[in-house]
Amino acid sequence: MQNLWTDKEAALFPGDLAQRVYTSRLVGRDKTLVLHGGGNTSVKIRERSILGDEEDVLYVKGSGRDLEAIDEAGFSPVRLDHLLRLAVLPTLSDPEMLNEMVTHMTRASAPVPSVETILHAVLPHKYVDHTHADALLAVTNTRDGDRRIAEIYGRDVVVIPYVMPGFELAKSCAELFRKQAHAGTIGIVLLKHGIFSFGATARESYDRMIDLVGRAERYLESQGAWALRCDGDDERGSLSRSAIASLRQHVSETAGNPMVMRSVRDSHAMSFVRRKDVGVVSQLGPATPDHVIRTKRVPMLGRDTVGYAASYRKYFADHAAGAARNLATLDPAPRIILDAELGMCAIGRTAKDAGIAADIYEHTMDIIGRATLLGGYDALPASDIFAMEYWDLEQAKLRSGAKPAMFAGEVTVVTGAASGIGRACVEAMLARGAAVVGVDVNPQIESVPERADFLGVRGDLTSPETIGRALDEATRAYGGVDMLIVNAGIFSDGARIADLDGAAWRRTMDVNLDASMMLLRESHPLLTMAPRGGRVVVIGSKNVPAPGPGAAAYSASKAALTQLARVAALEWGVDNIRVNILHPNAVFDTAVWTEEVLKARASQYGQTVEEYRKSNVLRTEVSSRDVAELAAEMCGPLFSKTTGAQLPVDGGNMRVI
């Protein structure tokens, strides 16, 4: 465990709440302590209300907030006195608890407080930190975990047997704490769940968390249960695109909507999926209960999605019968798949969700590995995990309120993605919820700020290697290709046929036509496995219906590309792949239209550059964004019955109309 506190950084956070923000971020920065919205922290502050009354306010992390990125507004201020009075009630239902917390905040715009708020309230310390530390879970998630915890911590912590988070946990913590805590108590261990530390200052509470978890790490080391064997091969370099896309197709069918699937095949994951005992140790349950909403209770072994769905339905039926209220089953598709060939595959409704599932399982593999070395991994019974999975307060974390985006769970490849129409297509697709792989020869494509739903691939599309790599990346990161926007193109002539340079002609054909043919051919197997059917939009040109003098190579290449796309529409209809063509004109915010080309073209028509820009029927300018929005919509439900169509985006052209 590394203590990340520095006085210099801490000085930038003056005040009780700011100090709370600082050490919450330190906790969040260490992924072996908390992951993606896991864990929570609080501080109790005495404040004066608008009426001049002094009152104690508990600032507790907002539900689902990420500790690493939290700020003051991410904490919910709840009146402490009210929480303490709630804590002694004999019972409090979840909706009642939620209502009481939300109606006793001192700031209306604050987030909904953490489900563990009352527990923070009953601990008589100013600062409280709670994590699901990997090392602690590796120790408690064994058959004799309680004995080991006693061995590690002696009387320094109060140990609480597993109780589901919420009101009951707060009550049992309050009671055991009252009975067992003494002046030297610095934390609470919640068996098979996590750990609390507390203190008079943010630093003291944080230091104690690092100390307590560090002791668990050293214990694992002393028991020969720290170093994990990593003997799997790193197989990131090779993958079967069709096997992965087919698996994702079946998972999406089972889920009832398209899902993103990330396949992890580094040596760490390959070691785990090829463990001899993987069929046993992976099927016992998650390391801490709130992981269930991201990973489901158990991963799927191999590729039998039908079998997995059947056993999920049985698990639901077995446990829902005893539930107090009527429950609706969640989709029965897996969120983690362990396959000896495909590695560890993580699934989510969006690329971000798949990434969260992958991160959680990366840590779970280590926890299982260490607990096994310690004598045997053990998890909570299925009934406890079910109660958490179907706990409404937990499900609320997954509901963002808005309905899923148009292309949630779908994957798009865009070529020529670094600038102009291609870049606008990337933005239009991301805005509609798709995960996007952008390909471009321009190195800028790799310098886009890192985000889970975008991947830049640099390369020349005239090389089969680039095409293979782009499709490999799309498959590895997201599980396949559903939509393809064929946009990359060059405009290199500006010479009349009599003066046409052979090399320039050839290059135009290579990029605009041959590379597009190769890309279509290589993408076809993936497009056939798109959960909602494949969609292709080819960016043609006004020059197809209305060619211009001095643009022979460009016009001929785009005309041939259009014809290629029409044949694809004919051939691929049977595979449920739609292929449509856009013919933009006079889109001047693209790489093709340099100032020189603009001048040259304008003079061909005897116009000024300004006249040339708006020389269309509507006298309007056409932007990359106009083209991209239409390209994205052509992949959506609006055009679901349309294939082989050619649509102008040109402000109206006299020669085309």
Binding site for Zn ion (CB under 5 A): 194
In terms of CB distance, is 194 or 433 closer to Zn ion? Answer: 194
Least distance from C-beta 137 to Zn ion, angstroms? 11
- Pick the closer one to Zn ion by CB: 64 or 194: 194
User: Which CB atom, from 169 or from 622, has the smaller least distance to Zn ion?
Assistant: 169
Distance of closest approach, residue 40 Cβ to Zn ion, in angstroms: 7
Distance CA 210, CA 454 (A): 35
C-alpha to C-alpha distance for 224 and 138, rounded to whole angstroms: 13
Task: State the nearest-atom distance from the C-beta of 123 to Zn ion, in Å.
Answer: 14
Nearer to Zn ion, 194 or 545 (CB): 194
**What's the order of all strands across the beta sheet hosting 260-264?**
260-264, 343-348, 336-339, 300-301
- Residue 470 CB, shortest distance to Zn ion, in Å, is 41
Q: Could you tell me which residues come within 8 angstroms of residue 169 by beta carbon, excluding any fewer than 6 positions away?
A: 116, 119, 160, 163, 190
CA distances from 628 to 12, 435, 625 (A): 44, 16, 5
Q: Locate tokens 């939620």: which residue? A: 98
Minimum separation from the CB atom of position 193 to Zn ion (A) = 6
From the list 458, 449, 416, 456, the residue with the least C-alpha distance to 435 is 456
| Smallest separation (angstroms) from Zn ion to the CB of 210 | 18
Nearest CB to Zn ion, comparing residues 194 and 648: 194
**Of 194 and 299, which CB lies nearer to Zn ion in the complex structure?**
194
- Tokens in use for 150? 């006693």
Which residue has the closest beta carbon to Zn ion? 194
Cβ-based nearer residue to Zn ion, 288 or 624: 288
Cβ contact 453:474 at 8 Å: no
DSSP state of 513: I
Q: Which is nearer to Zn ion, 39 or 334 (CB)?
A: 39
Shortest distance (Å) from residue 130 CB to Zn ion: 6
Which residues, at least 6 apart from 304, have a Cβ–Cβ distance to it below 8 Å? none
Please give the structure tokens belonging to residue 618. 């509507």
State in angstroms the smallest separation of the CB of 120 from Zn ion: 11
Structure tokens at 348: 């989510």
CA terminus-to-terminus distance, the chain: 70
What b/e readout covers 407-431, taking b as 16+ CB neighbours within 10 angstroms? bbbbbbbbbbbbbbbbbbbbbbbbe
Q: How far is the CB of 192 from Zn ion (least distance, A)?
A: 11
Distance CA 319, CA 313 (A): 10
| Residue among 40 and 249 whose Cβ is closer to Zn ion | 40
Residue closer to Zn ion, measured from CB, 67 or 622: 67
Alpha helix segments (H runs only) across 322-391: 351-374, 382-389
Distance of closest approach, residue 289 Cβ to Zn ion, in angstroms: 8
In the block, tokens 């080991």 appear at: 148
Q: Where are the beta strands (DSSP E) in 490-634?
A: 534-539, 577-584
From residue 277, give the alpha-carbon distance in Å to each of 338, 372, 379, 531.
12, 10, 16, 33
